[in-house]
Amino acid sequence: MFEKLRKKLKSRKGNSLAEFAVTTAMMATLATTAAPKFGQVGAGAKEKKTIANIDKILTVANNYYNQTLSEEGKGRFPGQEKYDVAVGGIDLAEGALTDETLEAYIETILEQKASYEDDLSEFVYIFSSAVDDDDALQGGWMNLETSVDFDGGQEVGALDFKKDFGNQGIESPFQDGSYAYLVIPGSGSGTDAQAPVMVVIDTENPSKLNKTLVP
């Protein structure tokens, strides 16, 4: 009797250990296969968040443009002294038009920039006016590891943007992200006149995380 009981106890114990081992193996496999999917979901959510943030920036820029259009007769964006002045490093070649310059820039230059480590010196920060901007540093509104520049014109766009956002900025959901922009000047005159255009990026991946505002 005791021998049978001993065998049953051994058998039950063995089954429990076996079941535990199988369960542990299944959980490990599940964790291994699920981790990349969860990572993809997280990255996708961050992309949606940053595009929504860029939309907010473009809404403010569009309102600024419409206000200056009403008050001055020609619209301009934050940072522009006049509608035909560039913000950042992309200007018009002699005789070039705004729309063709934008198309060439996006297709031949911006599409090649997939990281914050790429040369982004043609952009200026949206929410930071200088490298020692304490608010921007504390708020995470700029990434000093990028080559993004600061607006040094008479009209500092970052000040206008922060004012329109209640003296606040927006932090990118990406660790290496931050928001920057450039303005390609308006061109032409009369019926051939073209408004300036704005390109906004998240420095995390400028080629993918960008939007353009054409009034």
Q: Which among 170, 146, 173 has a CA at the least distance from the CA of 47?
A: 173
| Domain-wise residue ranges, the chain | 31-213
Q: How far is CA 3 from the centre of its chain?
A: 72
HEC profile of 69-138: HHHHCCCCCCCCCCCCCCECCCCCCCCCCHHHHHHHHHHHCHHHCCCCCCCCCCCEECCCCCCCCHHHHH
pLDDT at 89: 97
Q: What is the pLDDT of residue 3?
A: 53
Per-residue pLDDT of the chain (215 residues; tens, 9 = 90+): 545 545 544 444 455 555 555 556 566 655 555 555 545 558 899 999 999 999 999 999 999 999 999 999 999 999 999 999 999 999 999 999 999 999 999 999 999 999 999 999 999 999 999 999 999 999 999 999 999 999 988 889 999 999 999 999 999 999 999 999 999 999 998 889 999 999 999 999 999 999 999 99
Question: Would you state the pLDDT for residue 184?
Answer: 98
pLDDT of res. 215: 94
Q: How many CA atoms lie less than 13 Å away from 98 in the CB half-sphere?
A: 24
Q: What is the pTM of this model?
A: 0.81
